[in-house]
Structure 1
Amino acid sequence: MSGEDTEHVRLLAGLDGELPPIVVHRRTMRVVDGMHRVRAAESRGEERIAVHLFDGTEEDAFVLAVRLNSANGLPLSQADRGRAAARILASHPHWSDRRIAEVTGLAAGTVAAMRKRSTDRFDQLKKRVGRDGRARPVDPAEGRIRASESLLAHPDSPLREIAAAAGISIATAKDVRDRIHLGKDPLPARLRHAAAEAAVPQTEMAVIESELPSMRKDPSMRTEAGRALIQLLSAHSIGDRNKWRRLAGSVPGHRTGAVAQAARACAEQWLRLASELEERNA
């Protein structure tokens, strides 16, 4: 995270009355939240400050620090938010993108994109824990398929065993069994469509769609170059795969090679820009 803000320390030191309690990790006695208050108390010549002790792992303490800072402290920079999200992804890979986004103040699409760029071990997780604390399958279709295979192999098995083995709820296991008895596909239409879409590599257009509104409102982006960049991003933010198919279908046969070559060249330019920006944030 960014360093201490001396002006913020000065403002805190000038406040009347006792400073709010800080949060300290009990096992390591490290300050989780309130380092500026500690510095302010020191500048006042005070030897004591109120403390709330936190019991938990060091990684949980880090999550708490990010959450409290996002809610009450100085705003984190975009780079700090990104680094925090990367660390939480590594320590809490079972958390959903939305839950990590809520802690760090990033868009869920941004966290999803970071997860895709991270190690493949995240793909091995069958469930993720959402903001409400409930665990849900990453791929609900996969759980239904496993349940259907178990039911076909062992039709007399109790639903509780089928559900536990497949990583789904008992209600879902019952629905799969009922579908099989009726000769239906164990996957409802919406999951069949989602499974078919998942077979096609997903783009990161959700990131553009979630970040563009805040970019447009950011005064620092209202330069000539900033406006040009936003216009380019807006022109390329086609998240609907059907629109891409329609665009591809509109290209006449004798132009497909040239258009494909031009598209790849544009993609390489965008990747070069992305690499330069990521190096600045490293």
Structure 2
Amino acid sequence: MKGQVAERTGLSAVPEKVPIARLVAADSPRLHGEHADHVKALAAMDTPLPPIVVHRSTMKVIDGMHRLRAAVLRGEEALDVLFFTGADADAFVLAVELNHAHGLPLSTADRKVAAARIVDSHPTWSDRRISAVTGLAASTVATVRRCSSERIRQSNVRVGKDGRVRPVDGTEARMRAAELMTANPSASLREVAKAVRISPSTAKDVRARLSRGESPVTPRQRKRDDAPPPVRDTAAGFVASLARDPSLRFSESGRVLLRFIGCAAVGDEQWEEMLHGVPVHQRETVVQLARECASAWLGFADRLESRSDRGAAS
């Protein structure tokens, strides 16, 4: 995996020994930071720890904060480091990809918040491309994208895993192609396709539909456009928005809140999986605990709503 990532991102292939004092704590995709037990387990290992990955321009740790903490516990003064030389946004993508590929897995809430950040920083990436990085289903990434649509810049194209650029909404592209063909009947299919960023075969279909007096948009696309808009999963969007707030992300109490409230980002499919995963003999216990958790959150919401903001964190 490391070799594939290095080839794809320009990650250095040969580790360098770097003093720990020069390294900076990561902008980790983990909402709750490092796991102390995992750090202790790594520190107790007799074998050398694998190299960590560091952003060369900022010296921030991209992948390996648990190994860094373990090295400090061991009393080591330097670590083997692989350097990454890309942009900050690409460094975060790499952090998510590496954490998804090995080591202590990211939680579902971690990955959904990470997906929201990647949608923000790489708006032309397709849902499947972000899915491959985060380990989420493409449909889940699409939900996160919809929840984030009011806060981020949107693009009418997506760049897939293969690097090809494709239009998000073929309806709009077909309409623009029809307008060009009507205004300039002598334009070639390739000229029209290039101008509106569709395939020559789609341009050919648009011209054929116009010649038959039909709409340039296919019946399937018209049916989809007439359908009611999907219900937005606002919980995932709210959690992603909260996680971007430095006053929460970089305070201990804030990280605890984000960790617990992350359950709100669980999608319908995951609730369904958990529902069927509860054994019959534990059903009553889980029902009671779920109701107690709901009651506790309602009490927290009531207290927060009536709290005086005097002396509260700004």
TM-score of the two chains, using structure 1 as the length reference? 0.69
Contact 1:109 1:204 in 2 (8 A): no
Q: Offset at 1:92?
A: 1.3
- The residue identity in structure 2 corresponding to 1:159 is L
Cα 1:93–1:226, aligned 2, differ >3 Å: closer, same or farther? farther
Partner Cα separation in structure 2 for residue 13 and residue 78 of structure 1: 27
Higher share in helix: 1
Contact 2:123 2:154 in 1 (8 A): no
Q: Offset at 1:62?
A: 0.5
Partner Cα separation in structure 2 for residue 121 and residue 88 of structure 1: 13
- The residue identity in structure 2 corresponding to 1:51 is V
- The residue identity in structure 1 corresponding to 2:270 is E
Cα 1:124–1:30, aligned 2, differ >3 Å: closer, same or farther? closer
> 1:215 aligns to what?
274
Q: Offset at 1:209?
A: 4.9
Contact 2:55 2:62 in 1 (8 A): yes
Partner Cα separation in structure 2 for residue 210 and residue 133 of structure 1: 30
Match of 2:191 among 161, 169, 174: 161
> 1:39 aligns to what?
69
> 2:82 aligns to what?
52
Contact 2:131 2:137 in 1 (8 A): yes
> 2:111 aligns to what?
81
Q: Offset at 1:208?
A: 5.2
- The residue identity in structure 2 corresponding to 1:201 is P
Partner Cα separation in structure 1 for residue 229 and residue 126 of structure 2: 20
Tell which has more relative contact order, 1 or 2 (C-alpha 8 A, sep 6+). 2
Contact 2:126 2:159 in 1 (8 A): yes
> 1:105 aligns to what?
135
Q: Could you give the per-residue CA deviations for residues 29-67 of structure 1, whole angstroms, max 9, x where no partner exists?
A: 211001111222233333332221112110110011111
Contact 1:32 1:65 in 2 (8 A): yes
Cα 1:226–1:115, aligned 2, differ >3 Å: closer, same or farther? farther
> 1:201 aligns to what?
229
Unaligned runs of 5+ in 1: 229-271
1:67 paired with 2:76, answer: no
Partner Cα separation in structure 2 for residue 224 and residue 95 of structure 1: 40
Contact 2:120 2:153 in 1 (8 A): no
1:14 paired with 2:44, answer: yes
1:224 paired with 2:281, answer: no
- The residue identity in structure 1 corresponding to 2:230 is Q
Partner Cα separation in structure 2 for residue 18 and residue 172 of structure 1: 56
Contact 1:21 1:50 in 2 (8 A): yes
Q: Could you give the per-residue CA deviations for residues 83-136 of structure 1, whole angstroms, max 9, x where no partner exists?
A: 222221211122223332332333433333332232437574111123333322
> 1:148 aligns to what?
178
What SS does structure 1 have at the residue aligned with 2:139?
A: helix
Partner Cα separation in structure 1 for residue 152 and residue 33 of structure 2: 31
Partner Cα separation in structure 1 for residue 161 and residue 222 of structure 2: 26
Cα 1:99–1:210, aligned 2, differ >3 Å: closer, same or farther? farther
Match of 2:147 among 105, 117, 122: 117
Taking only aligned residues, the RMSD between alpha carbons, in angstroms, comes to 3.1
Cα 1:140–1:176, aligned 2, differ >3 Å: closer, same or farther? same
Q: Offset at 1:226?
A: 7.2
